Amino acid sequence: MVARPAAGRRRAALTAVSTLVLAAVPAVAAAGPPHPAPPGPAAAARTVGAEEAPQAVLSALQRDLRLTAEQARTRLANEAEAGPRAGRLHNALGERFAGAWVTGRTSAGLTVATTDAADVPAIRAEGAQAAVVTTSLSGLRALKEDLDEAAGRIRTAQTPVWYVDVRANRVVVQATSRSAADAFIEAAGAQGKGLGVRVSAERPLLKADIVGGDAYYIDGTARCSVGFSVTKAEQQGFATAGHCGKAGATTTGFDETDQGSFQASVFPGKDMAWVGVNDNWTATADVKGEGDTKVQVSGSVQALVGASVCRSGSTSGWHCGTVEQYDVSVTYAEGTVDGLSRTTVCAEPGDSGGPFVAGTQAQGVTSGGSGDCTSGGTTFFQPVNALLDEFGLTLKTAGETVTPAPPQGTSTDTWAPGRVYEVGESVSFAGVDYLCLQNHQAQGAGSPEAAPALWQRS
């Protein structure tokens, strides 16, 4: 179900001024031949996420990323094709893998980083550029976990954001001053470990708006945006942000009729929740695009860093940008949230909980950020796969018969529709073992045998 905006909405603007101070980036040795020609329509159609793109997605990409219609179509096809290649290399390199990202106006370049120069030929063989760096992705994540642990002990109001930056091969702390960043790093015992520091006046704010207008309302006061339709057994509902409401809070729809209630909510720590709706509401695969158009969600395959994403919100509507980082920790006034994704997409108060999509693949629900859609800004989203896994939900997708998420305690060795899988996980299907290539929730028609963009034989 997608709530439609009511008339007379009020838009509130946030302003921010930022400067950038980043310590020197470790030397990166780029290697590899020019990327092969982008795949044609036939090749793109064989990859997950490369379905014929809805016009709402193409139009917004043209507007916000300043692309031609052909560039927008080519970009989506290239991004869908790059995902499986990155996944194969992730699995092949193991602990030496240091991240992957796409570059260029049409995302024609795929770069894969490794800590061992001996991996360069294997990376080139997949048609990717190679970056030989110092620290593996697992090492970067371990360093970020030190910051996460420190944030549980000290106040981080002056260091509101920290994240793994795979393109710079380092963990970055965003702070209001250098001294605040240094104090946070010292508290984490991470001095001398090569962390980057970004000094910025930006202070992420939650996008919930207590002044009504449209979308859905919480306890008759606060307003947020519907995310993605989900189901749990026979209960229909939608995913949204945890800061929008606590478990038990009641909701009314865009038309102010009774809608449902929050079944579960986590915030801070995470920013995820879901609302169960009454019989007057029906779950669909629709996401509101530009104007009255709709985008139908077909899955939840996670996009690569650098890929294009679009967001729908009840205040500012439909806007696009790119993914900057995954695994970002953000400190709001209410507390710290881990595991968010950072984007260049703008957002405004009231957009909280709204959906992010990459092509037709669900990515996450809007959390918070800085700036606005007049001057531009930064927005964070809560990844949808983590949300589905946390609450045992099934994403509603186009053309699919709803397959319930498997009950807790079900064997993880056998592939099962409804389960959330991450890159590198192994499953058995029809007597054959497979390795996961891209993070996603398994759909009924996406078995390992039928989805080579998501699974490789091991």
Catalytic residue among 271, 286, 351, 372: 271
pTM: 0.81
Q: Tens digit of pLDDT for each residue in 445-456?
A: 889 999 999 999
| Active-site residue, selected from the candidate residues 352, 367, 370, 447 | 352
**Cβ–Cβ < 8 Å for 416, 404:** no
Residue 243 bears catalytic tag:
yes
Residue 186 is predicted with a pLDDT of 95
For the chain, domains (ranges, CATH) are 29-132 (3.30.300.50), 144-199 (3.30.300.50), 205-391 (2.40.10.10), 405-458 (2.10.10.20)
Would the pLDDT of 262 be above 60? yes
pLDDT value for 157: 87
404 confidence band (pLDDT: 50, 70, 90): low
One DSSP character per residue, 23-72 reads PPPPP-EEE-PPPPPPP-HHHHHTSTT-SPPPHHHHHHHHHHHT--HHHH
Catalytic residue among 35, 90, 243, 319: 243
Percentage helix, strand, coil, to 5, in the chain? 20, 35, 45
CA distance 393 to 237: 10
Backbone angles phi, psi at 282, to 5 degrees: -125, 130
Q: How remote is the C-alpha of 40 from its chain's centroid?
A: 27
Helix 137-151 and helix 178-187, axial crossing angle in degrees, nearest 10: 100
- The model's pLDDT over 52-90, given as tens digits with 9 standing for 90+, comes to 788 889 999 999 999 999 999 999 999 999 999 999 999
- Of all residues in the chain, the percent with pLDDT exceeding 70 is 84
Asked if residues 283 and 237 have their Cβ atoms less than 8 Å apart, the reply is yes
Provide the token pair at 117: 């120069």
Residue 40 has pLDDT above 70, yes or no: no
- Asked whether the predicted pLDDT for residue 238 surpasses 60, the reply is yes
Residue 172 sits at φ, ψ, to 5 deg, of: -115, 135
Residue 212: its pLDDT value, please? 26
Lowest-pLDDT range, 90-94, 192-196, 418-422? 192-196
Tokens of 227: 């995310």
- Tens digits of residue pLDDT in 285-342: 989 888 778 898 999 999 999 999 999 999 999 999 999 999 999 999 999 999 999 9
pLDDT attached to residue 7: 32
**Mean pLDDT value across residues 96-101:** 98
Please state, in angstroms and rounded to a whole number, the distance separating the CA atoms of residues 41 and 35: 17
Distance CA 137, CA 374 (A): 35
Active site residue 352: yes
